[in-house]
Structure 1
């Protein structure tokens, strides 16, 4: 089994998507809120439904390369078993969600066909 690619600070802007389910939604919401407060970051909605290519409920954290070196280790230490999908914002959604996809925790299978259809 391949190890998921770990986040590396190579881009300007990023999203981190914290994945959770009905048993971990409260913890995930607090984790995202705390990340926003500690690092002064914009936090998206806590989606208790599937959104976009994400195979799990999720909450998005928007951050930049200058936040990366503090945020990523903090998320790794604080996630308590949650999977977190990290990707850059290069302007190419398909590459961002495949070629540049990185993970804290277990990798999940994204639904990237929506980006392939969009590219046609």
Structure 2
């Protein structure tokens, strides 16, 4: 099997899990904030396990160009990395502590919210 080119990546997605009514309330607040701020597609609320997912959840799908504004580069490389094989040392000192300041929020004039 040939490796696929990164240019073939059409979208990313994340699953927001919750296990209690309190966590569901936090998930709902996050969902609302994400929908207001980013051009994303929100999946259905799943109130229990579904498919490979062992907990209630919903999905957030987003375009590749949005990834950089969602993920902290330093944390992504040094704390949250997933390695196949033995991890290699990284030069974390060259990664910024914080992302550059974001521009003012853009009104969502083309909502993509799904149920």
TM-score normalised over the length of structure 2: 0.50
* Cα drift, residue 71 of structure 1: 2.2
- Deviation beyond 2 Å, 4+ runs, structure 1: none
Q: What is the count of residue pairs matched by the alignment?
A: 66
Unaligned runs of 5+ in 1: 1-9, 77-98, 100-120
In 2, the alpha carbon distance for the partners of 1:13 and 1:55 equals 23
Match of 2:60 in 1: 61
The question of 1:50 aligning with 2:49 is answered yes
* Cα drift, residue 68 of structure 1: 0.6
Q: Secondary structure of 1:46's partner?
A: coil
Structure with more of its chain in strand, by fraction: 1
Match of 1:35 in 2: 34
In 2, the alpha carbon distance for the partners of 1:71 and 1:32 equals 14
Q: Is the 8 A contact 2:40 2:63 kept in 1?
A: no
Aligned pairs for 1:9-24 (under 5 A) are 10=6, 11-22=9-20, 23-24=22-23
* Cα drift, residue 42 of structure 1: 1.3
The Cα offsets for residues 8-54 of structure 1, whole Å up to 9 and x where unpaired, read as xx533111101111130011111022112101211112221111111
TM-score normalised over the length of structure 1: 0.48
In 1, the alpha carbon distance for the partners of 2:71 and 2:44 equals 20
Q: Secondary structure of 1:27's partner?
A: helix
Structure 1 residues 46 and 72: alpha-carbon distance in aligned structure 2, compared to 1, 3 A threshold: farther
* Cα drift, residue 72 of structure 1: 3.1
In 1, the alpha carbon distance for the partners of 2:26 and 2:71 equals 18
